[in-house]
Amino acid sequence: MKQKQIMSIGNVWKKYDMGSADPLIVLKEINLDIHEGEFIAITGPSGSGKSTMMNIVGALDGPSWGKVLLKGKDLSELGESNLSLFRGKTIGFIFQSFNLIPTLTAIQNVMLPMEMVDLPEKEAKERAELLLGMLGLKDRLNHKPNELSGGQQQRVAIARSLANDPEIILADEPTGNLDSHTGKFVMDFLGKLNKEGKTIILITHDLNLVRYARRVIHIKDGKIEKETSR
């Protein structure tokens, strides 16, 4: 049975205005439907428009033209605060450089997105403990990022991405700063989350990671060059 569509990107263009010069067009005519439970990889060389694509898919930036529907909602019609809330509940982010708040402990970092959706502190703490325990960091709850290794920081970031139980996990070069062993752990964990029903969107230029995905979107010069499924 075909899965329900969770995101639809229709005829999306993105440009940057360059004053009196011609605008710099970084995404052209992007059409992409993403379904619930998919593991999709967006790949392409550096400068292909991958990062801009990630910002659009993650609702961190809007298109200059075209529409993005997330769970049937037109993102351009949501106000800034509604968009922020909706994004926080629906999408969990994992970044290459972890992006943990350096002044907060591991558990506080994981609790942060839950504060955003006003989850009571007690519940947030219990859930954060559970998530960090699941990722093998039960004894690192009160450590700050600079007291953790790169692999441990990325695991905190994964726990944070799962804090609000989002339907979509958007991982941008999640293994870029990790050794191969920890990188494999992260990718296997994403695979496990996908088997449990999460939609995984992986942005990478590393063709070794692409094998984890069932659908691969190749971007070149701001356009979808080809799409492969397996």
CB 18 within 8 A of CB 51: no
Q: Which two tokens stand for residue 78?
A: 């949501």
The alpha carbon of 130 is separated from its chain's Cα centroid by a whole number of angstroms, namely 21
Among 3, 4, 82, 115, binds another protein (CB under 8 A): 115
- # chain residues binding another protein, by CB under 8 A: 60
Among 3, 4, 82, 84, binds another protein (CB under 8 A): 84
Measured over the CA atoms of residue 169, residue 171, residue 175 and residue 177, the dihedral's sign is: negative
Among 3, 4, 65, 225, binds another protein (CB under 8 A): 65
Measured from the CB of residue 16, what is the shortest distance to another protein in angstroms? 5
- At which residue do the structure tokens 């033209």 appear? 65
When asked if residue 182 is in the footprint of another protein (CB under 8 A), the reply is no
Torsional class of 11: left (φ above 0), alpha (ψ -120 to 50), beta (otherwise):
left
Edge-first strand listing for the sheet containing 65-70: 21-35, 5-18, 65-70, 73-74
Which C-beta is closer to another protein: that of 35 or that of 214? Answer: 35
Give the type of residue at 117. Answer: V
Give the interface segment with another protein, choosing from 49-57, 134-142, 191-199, 211-219 (CB under 8 A). Answer: 49-57
CB 170 within 8 A of CB 203: yes
Give the interface segment with another protein, choosing from 105-113, 130-138, 186-194, 208-216 (CB under 8 A). Answer: 105-113
Among 20, 79, 118, 122, binds another protein (CB under 8 A): 118
Measured from the CB of residue 204, what is the shortest distance to another protein in angstroms? 11
**Distance between CA atoms of 61 and 15, rounded to whole angstroms?**
12
Contact footprint for another protein (CB under 8 A): 5, 8-11, 13, 15-18, 21-26, 28, 31-33, 45-52, 54-55, 60, 65-67, 69, 84, 87-88, 93, 95-99, 101-102, 111-113, 115-116, 118, 145-146, 172-173, 176-177, 221-222
